[in-house]
Structure 1
């Protein structure tokens, strides 16, 4: 059931009385004028300099999450790498914004590095955002122990509140130019120590946040114990660690005390320095001992003809250095990222403020947010959790009348199909799935339910992702579904990574987590209690997803509108908080319009996009995915995905390598087909084949207990999508690439096309094909051909396009370095074996010895005893066959009994004078040098017999160089 109108909300809206509007006036000096380039960075990069070397802190995770939620690339830089990488990043002009997790790290940079960074920022309009860390290490100013300086040359000091009254209220300035989504002029009147930050689901180090998870800890404990029970004998005492069921209260109190004493404010060093800073957020402070610096205020009650005045003292929590100090603009926070809920809101505004004039943002969020709320499992909830009539029309408390009340009010909602018995699609056959949908359709017709056309949601996300194709087929057959949602693609967490896709004409939109589930019906038993649920709405995970998503789909459940009505509880609070603190406008829209709004921000998910299909991950790696995958899919016998893949390129001897590897008793190729693409699966490079899903691909292989599964698809090497798809599903796979002399590979492809009667290959010489490297040159040759054969009726446009495409397929895959870099983006170099084709052709046994070492086969065989050169064919054939796993690749040789050779169309001999007479070796000169540099730069896998990196260089490459 789809929540169609918000008429279930309370008549009296939920309010936050402590959040009000203020009329305080802050100084707002403007930034000096700058000269911005008319060309903006199309893909900005933000450099995040972390505070710790060993691991990324939770504060840094929050910073990174905000950046990624804005669809901006982030480059985390650990402190020990600053000295080696920062100068390189500056020289390459790689980044457009810098965020320091620790503001002191910025001010304590070595003079040469800090100067270089500041000069880079000034020259390129790059700005800095910084948060505090370890401010207790700063020395106090003379005669005032509560104040410390960030840097002797910087006109801003910090004020600590270790004793006495803490800062009161959290104010957003009305006069600054930074706030965009945040609503200026608002104040939370409570003391800052009463504004406890929310606990996010991924926080692990906070004792306070762990304590809120205590009620679900036994379940987590049981799950963890079941997963690692077989390690108990290896880890003495680990069982006792698992059985810690709570955090001592004194640890929580210590953490809360440290948090309460960690508040600081920013104060200009001198009163004249006030003109260098714009206040973004501030608090009311205790005026102290009436010294000048303690009474220095950034906000005033009244500004009339006699100037600004007021008895209260306000000091900054977030300031903008407008650039008057040294030409660099900065936004400085006086609190750590996880110290206050406002970080995600203010950091988001700060990033967009600094990048708006120098970069093109992929994700222009705007101020409108669309919301769609589903109510799941209507009529299916167990006794005690279903709606009563009072939940629908606030009257009779009898639960048995609840369903009837819903039916009577059915036209207040739009309804959608689930499955009739709530069965999960991955457990059903296609016929059973279709029957379930037809039963639901009959029920909807009988009860006159107004159906939302084209929309459905699967139980527990089953079948949506990981993809179960027969669900989509059944949806199309029965309901003509074209829109659904899921929260699990590619993974549930982090929320910023959730995406949509298009599969079989169904647009799958990302769904967000609301915090209420099937079993959460009572506030008293909610894991973490009301504080946890409030925190999600009041600046926590639920608020963040709404802040960073223009279109938001949420799933709630039937029972969430019964009992304590927790769905209404959390969304009322969310809406009230958004209204109080942001300028965001909340709207509802029909499904078709929500789809268009979502695709406006995510155009690569449109059906027309070549990358609209989901990128499959291994369902057995993620527990949530495994729970909705085929029951036998993750068993040792059922999981058959390959461990190694020969990726090509084409016309380099990949079929011969496949056949010879298939001779090995412990290497198992995929099942071969009797039709195209025959021995190749081409799963990752062909969209039609890829859309068949992981289960289809898995079924192409044999039982892994009998050997190591592998496959060969030479189309993968230059495919723009194959490397990403393969690495997502098979991140630990071994990758094999064959490197043939690029001119010979190009000539081989040319003759391959001639053998298939491609007109461009038949009409033009190899020399002409190589020279048709632009559409203009291709058109020139095509026009010339038409003039020489005026009666042939040649379509010049068609022929020129075919010729240019032939040039591309001859030349581009031979530029090996270009595509190897693409693979290196997804795989480590030591996962990649490079094979010199010249060596493979002359000494295949040596190469296959290396292949066995690379794959770490459990059995080693000497291929010199299994291969014999055929003098008439000019290549090696197998002996002592047959070899069933090689299928039809190796056929009996009738000329030499006992030999098994590749088919006649393999190993063709060509007139290599085309290469010898063709002097433009320069076609590949640059790419060959690029390949040489790549081999020296990356640690590709090398045999244990290798003594030098030069062993990676193919013989043909040495001759060309």
Structure 2
């Protein structure tokens, strides 16, 4: 008997080995995935829509108002709505009910909005009667649609005899039906007939109970206990470990225990949240059978019969006997609406109503997208109307780089080829792109080395692109070291005969792409002639809807997407949040949203994601199946150069020819992800030198004098001056050639800020909208100094400045003629009338450009509006130029207070008026920080004045023409703006009118 026991023991061991070996090679990602969603044969009625006014002009920049539930923080439900609207590149303005009620008349008078979304429809009925009436009239008159959800329906009272049904409002013929936890509605159906559906595929059904259709948890959800345990990071587990450890030291940290108690999510709290979610399902039912033609069903569910009352049996969908090969439906079943459209017969306003909150079901982003398209397509210009095509590109980064035990084997490579061939049936030509680092070839175990060799043997099935040879990052390498890395990788590619994707590369960890490291682009061009790359980090990783591309040094940078699997996620059992989290990304979550809202999706995956459990294939198989079942989107593949062109067709501002094609630099030290791929030690206090204040101009207002006087202060440090143009100005934000040198270059224009406040002066910034955007991105907290001079004197001073520089248009035409040249046509007429000897074709454009440079910077109010989009008025100091000229010490007292300097200087002891020159000069010099701006006077001892090229005295006596009205309207706008906006004021100021320059007080 003993030998039999041994025999059985070894048989069991053998079976266990074979099973384990089988599961090592048969993988959860190796088979195509079939989603349990089918078509149905139910029919819903489609009442006619209100007639469209085809003659009504379309609004060029539609704005959507979101009326939120909370008076304080934006809820996560509202965040989802905002995310969808912003993903469509539309503007959205959230307002709480109180603010909306108080501002409704101003909003209406300005025709400010083209759609209203209520986070809770009950807010609409609780508005003050006057506000509600005004909103209704505006919506009817302007064909403004309303979209609404239900959040606090538990406050509604049930109808006597039918407690499950509640009246939403006596004025509105719709009832809200809630369900007990024990009687869950069954199935989520999309109507086959609804005209609201555009991307959504009508006629589909998920037959599971609604309580089994858990919504996906997005990465940004933080407040829901249901989603907290599924977060991608390890915070919940870390918190649990810390809690267990700290309990031994409670007496040392008495307050910390309460923090842990508030932060830790227990199973009980998750269960309570789940039960609350289950109880929140409801349906919308017309109050009377005669009201059904006022509504069109978009989505519905099969409801329990209950006691069989007439309301309980009022169905919105019926069997269509002409439809075959679909899900069989019980003729006695009752269906009621989850999402329905009020077609406008009730009060002339079209609405789309959801019987649930935004985060309650995965379909919200899809249906909200379609609803916005449906209501706005005839009334607004939708610049980001994506259509039904979506392009897919999948990179496999770090090929050969994965650590031993996590790399691809022969079976993984064969499965990858099989998957690629299968996907080509619905994406013709689809090809995985392999990013390689040749140094790590054959660095795995024996099975993985065979996998490497198999991958090389089948190399022509894929396209290949370069990382660096040893996977080193650009910010850690000098230019010569980086060149060596790229050349070694190219040598490896040539030795292995890799089919290279022409002109395409991806930097390890995206280092050097953004934040910009110029020598990466230079090396790419020299070795590989790269013209396309991708990054996930511009302008930042999250939220993904804001990712954009740009063009830099001949390389088009495209936005890259993530799919939820990373270098550390190899096995499903170890995936943070488990299978629910990963599948949720595909089934209506973050991954689904990227495909819904982006026409071109370039995905990042990693070598190890195709080994082990093959999680990359696992999640993509599911999202493709989900897209096919629930949407009409057609997934396609194209070569990288075609993807670039298709992306640029939707993002023309990123083209090389566009003035906005360069990236908007942000401070790399302000974002931990950017800091991690920035120069080592560049974020130390001594290395960070970005200015805290900027004199922005405009030109010909005395900015150089203010710069020189500020440089005399021991705590104020200007930028380094140059011996050549632009001399004392950096002009970083207004000159694209200088701007392209990058953040590191700009930082190097300043000394260490440890001993004072760094500042710069560039008078070209004020009237440049592009400079404002660039500055706000890099210096969001900077203090702004603006000098205001009489606009006519400023314009005439520029004209005289151009005459002094022998500009032909200024020499040939009077100042009055320059002012008249307000268009190219006017300039041509002025030039023609002035003299027949002029080359009009040549001079007219010059004359028009001179007009713009004279006039545009003087329209102060126009430019301030650009600044207000990015900076608060309280961070702006207005300097009256007349006051600077007559009493500079007083102005500099305000400057010191504005900048909050540590040492206060009395400039009245340092400045003296030079009667011969007609302006103030310094005494007590030299002042090294002022550079060559302040030079010895020569005639007066110990007096330092601006150089001869600065502070010119021009004859401002104009000809007999009356110019007083030229800037009158602009000046009135400026005066009103100064009085309305909270510009910074010194402590001595008593009212905003103190800020008005003398020349502006008459307006």
Category of TM-score, reference length = shorter chain: over 0.9
Residue 340 of structure 2 is matched in structure 1 by: 319
Mapped contact 1:390–1:397 kept (Cα < 8 A): no
User: What SS class does the counterpart of residue 75 from structure 1 fall into?
Assistant: strand
Alignment partners' CA distance in 2, 1:743 and 1:799: 23
Task: Give the Cα–Cα distance (whole angstroms) in 1 for the partners of residues 31 and 567 of structure 2.
Answer: 27
Aligned residues: 938
Cα distance between partner residues in 1 of 2:109 and 2:756: 50
The yes-or-no answer on 1:671 pairing with 2:720 is yes
1:235 and 1:771 map into 2 onto residues whose CA distance is 75
Do structure 1's residue 300 and structure 2's residue 343 form an aligned pair?
no
Q: Secondary structure, in 3 states, of the residue corresponding to 1:932?
A: helix
Partner of 2:419: none
Residues in 2 aligned to 1:893 and 1:692: alpha-carbon distance in whole angstroms:
37
Match of 1:75 in 2: 93
| 2:468 is aligned with 1:450 | no
Counterpart residue number, 1:148: 166
Is 1:845–1:863's contact at 8 Å kept on the other side of the alignment?
yes
> Deviation digits for residues 582-609 of structure 1, max 9, x if unmatched?
1111111000110011011111111110
CA–CA distance in structure 1, aligned partners of residues 237 and 931 of structure 2 = 51
Residues 1:759 and 2:778 are matched in the alignment: no
Contact kept in structure 1, 2:219 and 2:231, CA below 8 Å: no
Of 797, 817, 822 in structure 1, the residue corresponding to residue 861 of structure 2 is 817
8 A Cα contact 1:388 1:397, kept in partner: no
Q: What does residue range 898-917 of structure 1 map to in structure 2 within 5 Å?
A: 898-914=942-958, 917=960
1:891 aligned counterpart, secondary structure: strand
Q: Which residue of 1 aligns with 2:255?
A: 237
Which deviates more from structure 2 when the two are superposed, residues 807-816 or residues 654-663?
807-816
Name the CA distance, whole Å, in 1 between partners of 2:262 and 2:449. Answer: 43
Residue of structure 2 equivalent to 1:228:
none
Aligned to 1:4: none
Q: 1:604 aligned to 2:653?
A: yes
Gaps of 5+ in 2: 1-26, 244-249, 324-328, 417-444
Given candidates 110, 135, 141, the residue that maps to 1:92 is 110
SS of corresponding position for 2:307: coil
In the alignment, what sits opposite 1:366?
Answer: 387
Structure-2 residue corresponding to 1:258:
276
Deviation at 1:773, TM superposition (A): 2.1
2:969 matched to which residue of 1?
Answer: 926
Please name the residue that 1:746 is paired with. 795
SS in 1 for 2:146: strand
In structure 1, the residue matched to 2:626 is 577
Give the structure 2 partner of residue 16 of structure 1: 35
Aligned partners of 2:961, 2:239: CA distance in 1, in Å?
Answer: 71
Instruction: Select which of 984, 988, 997 maps to 1:941.
Output: 984
Q: CA–CA distance in 1 between the matches of 2:253 and 2:856? A: 53
Match of 2:827 among 762, 766, 778: 778
Cα deviation, residue 155, structure 1: 1.1
1:195, CA displacement in angstroms? Answer: 0.2
1:192 — aligned with what? Answer: 210
Distance (whole Å) between structure 2 residues aligned to residue 215 and residue 749 of structure 1: 58
C-alpha distance in structure 2 between counterparts of 1:270 and 1:731, whole Å: 57
Deviation of the 1:35 alpha carbon: 2.0
Pick closer, same or farther for the CA change 1:758–1:191 going to 2, 3 Å: same
Task: Deviation per CA, 1:406-459: give whole Å up to 9, x if none.
Answer: 000100000000011111101111111111111111000000000000000011
Find the residue that maps to 1:709 and give its secondary structure.
Answer: strand
Preserved CA contact (<8 Å) 1:499 1:510: yes
CA contact 1:158–1:265 (8 Å) conserved in 2: yes
Give 1:239 deviation, angstroms.
7.8
Q: Is the 8 A contact 1:302 1:310 kept in 2?
A: no
Displacement of 1:795 in angstroms is 1.9
Distance 2:632 2:52 in 1: 28
Hey, what does 1:495 align to over in structure 2? 544
Counterpart for residue 566 of structure 1: 615
Distance 1:192 1:732 in 2: 48
2: distance between equivalents of 1:517 and 1:171?
35
**Which residue does 1:40 correspond to in 2?**
58
Deviation, structure 1 residue 221: 6.1
Does the C-alpha gap of structure 1 residues 223 and 501 become closer, same or farther in structure 2, counting only changes over 3 Å?
Answer: farther
Q: Alignment partner for residue 139 of structure 1, among 154, 157, 163?
A: 157
Unaligned 5+ segments in structure 1 are 1-7, 226-231
Distance 1:417 1:748, change over 3 A: same
In the alignment, the residues of structure 2 paired with residue 348 and residue 463 of structure 1 have an alpha-carbon distance, to the nearest angstrom, of 36
Contact 1:551 1:598 in 2 (8 A): yes
Q: In the alignment, which of 866, 883, 888 is matched to residue 839 of structure 1?
A: 883
SS of the aligned residue for 2:897 comes to helix
- Equivalent residue for 1:159, pick from 144, 168, 177: 177
Match of 1:53? 71
| Structure 2 counterpart of 1:896 | 940
The aligned residue for residue 872 of structure 1 is 916
SS at match of 1:76: strand
Instruction: Return the alpha-carbon distance in structure 2 between the equivalents of residues 585 and 937 of structure 1.
Output: 52
Q: Which residue of 2 aligns with 1:5?
A: none
The 1:245/1:101 distance shift into structure 2, 3 A limit, reads closer
The 8 Å contact of residues 867 and 878 in structure 1, kept in 2 or not, is answered as yes
What is the CA-CA distance between 1:238 and the residue it aligns to?
4.4
Superposition deviation, residue 780 in structure 1: 2.4
CA contact (8 A) 2:229 2:236 kept: no
The normalised TM-score by structure 2 is 0.91
Offset of residue 875 of structure 1: 0.3
Q: CA deviation at 1:120?
A: 1.0
- Check the 8 A contact 1:284/1:314 in 2, yes or no: yes
| Partners of 1:9 and 1:658 in 2: CA distance | 67
Superposed, 1:409-424 pairs within 5 Å as: 409-424=458-473
